[in-house]
Amino acid sequence: MASKLIAIVAGVGPGTGAAVARKFAAAYPIVLLARNPDNFESLAKEINAEGGRAIGISTDVADSKSVKEAFEKIRKEFGSEVGAAAAVFNASGRFVRKPFLELTEDDFTAGLDVSGKGAFLFSQATLPLLLKGVEAGSRYPPSLIFTGATASLRGSATMASFASGKFALRALSQSLAKEFGPKGVHVSHAIIDGVIDIPRTKEWLKDAGPDAKLSADGIADVYWHLHTQPRATFTWEMDLRPYVEKW
């Protein structure tokens, strides 16, 4: 049936993106977007093997042509009238931390390209599908969820690039929440404040004891909670951090 609603996750990697994809795949056919197919291939296989349905599409969210092609593939796969129940923007771009005067123009725009333009392109591509989800009477309000960070609220020395992108993303998400909330789409922004427990961070915070890092599954549970909020009780923004995090 063409009207089956799907979920789309941009920025699938070893942490939040994969955990969110697994969580939402239990309810919806899922589309995995990442630049590097290594980031979604085994995950798609795993979801499909466990009875879900997943496709991965190699996509550069900051490139309009690439995003356009990705959504053409989605329509080819799920039908031109496909709607979405959820879209999660979890991409971040290259993280650059350098003294400001050493930043190249590419370093600086790394943040803005993905968190600014990329989030714009993703939102423009997914909102029409989410609005179709509203029309289709989806069980939960169709949801567009953005992953923020501490740097969404605070600029820091040597973090100008990352913070500029994350501030821009927060502005976009708030603007969209105000414009599309009344149309029935739930737009949210989660501020992830802390280190996420993934292979790359295995050696970090080892002295801080257990649970000192955010679990990707815990973040996925929160995104699912946001998704299931009824339209009378929408959260736009929430923060998330491990219990020992200083802030």
Could you say which residues in the range 188-227 bind a copy of itself, by CB under 8 A?
A: 197, 211-215, 218-219, 221-222, 225
- DSSP states of 139-188 as a string? SS--EEEEEEEGGGT---TT-HHHHHHHHHHHHHHHHHHHHHGGGT-EEE
Among 45, 50, 81, 124, binds a copy of itself (CB under 8 A): 124
Q: Of all helices (H) and strands (E), which one includes residue 31?
A: strand 30-34
What is the residue type of 62? A
Among 45, 72, 75, 155, binds a copy of itself (CB under 8 A): 155
Distance of CA 80 to the CA centre of its chain: 23
Distance of CA 172 to the CA centre of its chain: 13
Among 38, 45, 100, 202, binds a copy of itself (CB under 8 A): 100
Q: Which is nearer to a copy of itself, 57 or 168 (CB)?
A: 168
Q: Which is nearer to a copy of itself, 54 or 176 (CB)?
A: 176
Among 112, 114, 129, 149, binds a copy of itself (CB under 8 A): 112
Q: Supply the minimum distance, in Å, between the C-beta of residue 234 and a copy of itself.
A: 5
Choose the binding region for a copy of itself from 37-45, 72-80, 81-89, 155-163 (rule: CB under 8 A): 155-163
Q: Supply the minimum distance, in Å, between the C-beta of residue 57 and a copy of itself.
A: 20
List Cα–Cα distances, 91 to 52, 53, 61, 164, 233, in angstroms: 23, 22, 8, 15, 27
Among 94, 139, 202, 231, binds a copy of itself (CB under 8 A): 231
Asked if 179 interacts with a copy of itself (CB under 8 A), we say yes
Binders in 4-33 for a copy of itself, by CB under 8 A: none
Q: Is 195 helix (H, G, I), strand (E, B) or coil?
A: coil
Q: Supply the minimum distance, in Å, between the C-beta of residue 62 and a copy of itself.
A: 11
Binders in 39-98 for a copy of itself, by CB under 8 A: 64
Instruction: Classify strands 54-58 and 83-89 as parallel, antiparallel or unpaired.
Output: unpaired
List Cα–Cα distances, 47 to 70, 77, 197, 230, in angstroms: 20, 17, 21, 27
Token reading at 88: 């999660």
Calculated CA dihedral for residues 16, 19, 23, 25, nearest 10 degrees: 100
Among 39, 58, 143, 173, binds a copy of itself (CB under 8 A): 173
Instruction: Classify strands 83-89 and 5-10 as parallel, antiparallel or unpaired.
Output: parallel
- Count the site residues for a copy of itself by CB under 8 A: 78
Asked if 137 interacts with a copy of itself (CB under 8 A), we say no
13 phi and psi angles, rounded to 5 deg = -140, -155
Choose the binding region for a copy of itself from 43-51, 73-81, 86-94, 171-179 (rule: CB under 8 A): 171-179
179 contacts: CB under 8 Å, gap ≥ 6: none
Asked if 237 interacts with a copy of itself (CB under 8 A), we say yes
